Chains A and B, each alone.
Chain A
């Protein structure tokens, strides 16, 4: 490994060193604060070095990792999300009176895995990153060992992730047997033999699982529900975002110049390459419908967000299918919007949650606007952004996706997206009006609403300064991107990915 390689993989090195420092420090002190500070510093340095590296992009580090400006943008997103999730975790851990060490070790390790996944160039690094991320997540999901739902969620995730990894590995083997290549960038190319399409299909199982798209979504509600809120926010953003980055890099170049789905189907070269956009299109459509329809009947806020995230990944797939530069830009913008709003939403839930159990039932949100007006306002902004209403980043993101879809003439998917945008508003509004509705009743009565017996919601919980500041920052970002998206659009316009 040369000096240049070392410099190129500096963000990864920093994360690994940070993780080890957190673990090593546990030998001397169990201070939560220390491990938290080390985590934040490591993340900060990693983000800064990722940004600095964009000047050198594109470059490769050995044959395993390849970096371009899109990957580094993904790094910044992943690590930024980890940063915010770490702040939320710290607030939650402090409420529990937990000791430091292991939690943030797993946290950094998982982020490291996500980064390796995003930058992977061949099957080996792809699999390594994926497993590093997943295995750390098992521990994080089941963090509240006394919680039965938490343990159940962790085991469920373990089993399904294990099964999907098996599919992924076998698919890689079949693909290699046929094509003789382990290069991710050649996934989308036409395969000659009969085995490669089968292998590609099996790999899609593993990819679809991480993205939690239909029909690989079944774990999502239980895991979202069982995991602590900040960890849920981490899963919803980091693990999905990293996979989206890989997907775009592996497949988008193949879609360039062929006009997306329609073009690929038209050219009729090779069974594998002409089938896969259709597979993604069907997955996208089903995810949008299933996610939104399943969310309609839920009353558990975390499960609502779980189902809604399935739909949001469906939206991202629509952008992805547009192909080419437009896909890259639409996916990037929507990822940013989705990251910010998801982190903000789970950050708000974390604020409301008690040491043993998260605030997940809709009834716990009634009258929130009276008790914690600022928190309610922030959460409302996040939900409206997820619903794609104006003045928020979600609206601009949705327009950009529709624009990319229209440019590639994906009319059916665009209409499905529009219809689903409407359906989704129904359940987001349910949460919003719960927050303001209780307000009405109790404001009339001139009292604050009584909190149900045994409710984990701390009525007058003091928001830790740092977590509060993080939420405010996210809220400002959501609205700023909704009103002045130009700087981000300009930044995204400068991104490029050369493929793999």
Chain B
């Protein structure tokens, strides 16, 4: 083991949204604006903190907050355990072998940054849209974000489940209270799907801990300890499937996706941004961080199945996106398609594919988050999401049209945007493993062109079908969307920093797979 760095700044990622979220509920009772600002402040704080850690990790500053960068990577301990930049261990329930353990590596930091960014966007996107029980809304929003940050940081598996489940109830409220027409059904569906997966994972985690306890005599839920547990192939496969169930539902992988279109469509704009941009990423993160490194042999054996599901998801999601009439449902199904690339990239077990999968999580988070914001601003104005009633909107709202055009191109994966880089990396990395899957996934890109163009053309081109008088994007909306688009372009042209940041996490996971596969 390398020297452990205790770093309380990690806890801030969780505590700040938690405290300010509760504060925005309490202090915002009389003045709703207070709760908006507090929720925004929490996200800006996290963004600043993540930025600071990013600078530290890149070795640009030398304040000693985190271990200097991926370059310092000396693989020590179990192969499955990454070389953490910073760690925090506080005893929590020693009687059960549970501790409050957080740790940061490049993968976590990337996703934490994304969370803070999209969290701020979500607050901004609901600035005028949410008028009903504003303090309670922002409390739920902040609690979801705290849970997501916890998921990205936890290295104690009990703590991981704790945060995993913590995301659920506030998200349920966000959909159930502030959602659209069929919100109640969608909220329950979301909750049940996620919960079934979560509980199967809980059983698998406890089973793993029990097996470890039988072998070693001590109960522990620490990732580093459990990673070395020897299990028979059959048991390993069963436990891996328990983890996979939770992450595949969340991701969502093809047959487990049916909650997603409903939840994304019925959620309020901020809820859709969080769901698509962040909650889905917890599934991908869980696969990369836990499911694969804990059960490398089982994961290798399972890879063909997972890749088949991934390709099925890419194609099926694309076809469904093409045939939807509801604008939000179109975007929702594109998520199914795009997250298929993440699944494909993870289970190809090659460096470019896995890096591409991580980058795809970032690019999809930003582009789909922005797309949901755009659809939200449109719905605020015309009070419908029916594509058939739109048409010719470009003439009325050119700024919105421009943003929609660029974001549609992000759906297509146009070169110059980060979505292209990530999907390309996944395809390159998969080719060496399975040309068939690569070809099939590449067909998904063609399908993407069709649905993205249809989405854009139906809404913004052609003759207007309704005589709406619309106002274009205001400064807040335009600024937020511009920021998202700027990031898509920036990382599209220069993805280096992100790829460099996650490089060590990626190689660590692959080393674990190689070691486990050989054993």
Stretch of B189-197, B404-412, B457-465 that contacts chain A: B189-197
- Contact (Cβ within 8 A) B210 A433: no
B residues in contact (CB < 8 Å) with A: 92-96, 132-133, 158, 161-163, 165-166, 168-169, 172-173, 176-177, 184, 187-188, 191-192, 195-196, 199-200, 202-203, 206-207, 209-210, 213-214, 219
Q: In the docked arrangement, what's the CA distance between A34 and B94, Å?
A: 46
Known interface pairs A390-B162, A426-B192. Does A406 touch B207 (Cβ–Cβ under 8 Å)? yes
Query: What are 5 inter-chain pairs, A to B, with CB distance below 8 A?
Result: A390-B162, A402-B202, A402-B206, A422-B192, A440-B133
Instruction: Please state if B165 and A395 are interface contacts (CB–CB under 8 Å).
Output: yes
Residues of chain A within 8 A (CB-CB) of B162 are 390, 395
- CB proximity of B101 to chain A, nearest CB, Å: 16
Q: Which of A400, A418, A425 contacts B202 (CB 8 A)?
A: A418
Q: Which of A405, A406, A444, A486 has the most CB of B within 10 A?
A: A406
Which residues in window 366-404 of A have CB below 8 A to B? Answer: 384, 389-391, 395-396, 399-400, 402-403
Q: Which of A77-85, A166-174, A343-351, A407-415 contacts B (4 or more CB under 8 A)?
A: A407-415
Which of A396, A405, A440, A490 contacts B177, CB < 8 Å?
A: A440
Cross-chain contact B169 with A437 (CB below 8 angstroms): no
Instruction: For the complex of A and B, list the 8 residue pairs with the smallest distance between their C-beta atoms, beginning with the closest.
Output: A406-B210, A418-B199, A489-B95, A390-B165, A402-B206, A406-B206, A422-B195, A418-B203
Query: Is the CB–CB distance between B165 and A414 below 8 Å?
Result: no
Contact B184–A433 (Cβ < 8 Å):
yes
Instruction: Give the distance to chain B from A95, nearest Cβ to Cβ, in Å.
Output: 30
Asked if A36 lies at the interface with its beta carbon under 8 angstroms from chain B, I say no
Contacts of A400 in B (CB 8 A): 96
Chain A residues near B188 (CB, 8 Å)?
426, 429
How many angstroms from the CA of A11 to the CA of B415 in the assembled complex? Answer: 79
In this complex, the interface size class of chain A, counting residues with CB under 8 Å from chain B, is: 35 or more
User: Is there contact, CB below 8 Å, between B133 and A403?
Assistant: no
Instruction: Among A391, A414, A425, A444, point to the contact of B206 (Cβ < 8 A).
Output: A414
Give the shortest distance, in Å, between B168 (CB) and chain A (any CB): 7
A329 closest partner in B (C-beta): B95
**Nearest Cβ distance between residue A32 and chain B, in whole angstroms?**
38
Question: Residues of B contacting A490 with CB < 8 Å?
Answer: 95
Q: Would A411 and B207 count as touching, CB distance under 8 A? A: yes
A486-B95 CB under 8 A given contacts A425-B191, A440-B132: yes
The answer, among B94, B177, B199, for a CB contact under 8 Å with A419, is B199
Check if A421 sits within 8 Å of B199, measured CB to CB: yes
Asked if A123 is at the interface of the complex by the 8 Å CB criterion, the answer is no
Contact B96 A489 (CB under 8 A): yes
Nearest residue in A to B176 (C-beta to C-beta)? A433
Q: Are A403 and B191 in contact (CB under 8 A)?
A: no
CB contacts (< 8 Å) of B187 on chain A: these are 433
Contact pick for A389, options B92, B163, B165, B192, CB 8 Å: B165
| A443 contacts partner chain B, Cβ-Cβ < 8 Å | yes
Whether A443 and B95, one on each chain, are in contact in the complex, defined by CB atoms closer than 8 angstroms, is no
| Cα–Cα distance between A402 and B202 once the two chains are bound (Å) | 9
Nearest CB of chain A from residue B30's CB, rounded to whole Å = 15
Closest to B219 in A: A403
- Are the CB atoms of A390 and B133 closer together than 8 Å? no
* Contact flag A406-B192 (CB < 8 Å), given A419-B199, A422-B199, A439-B133: no
Given the complex, which residues of A lie within 8 Å of B177, measured CB to CB? Answer: 436-437, 439-440
Chain A residue nearest in CB terms to B162: A390
A485 beta carbon closer than 8 Å to chain B = yes
- Chain A nearest CB, measured from B19 CB (Å): 14
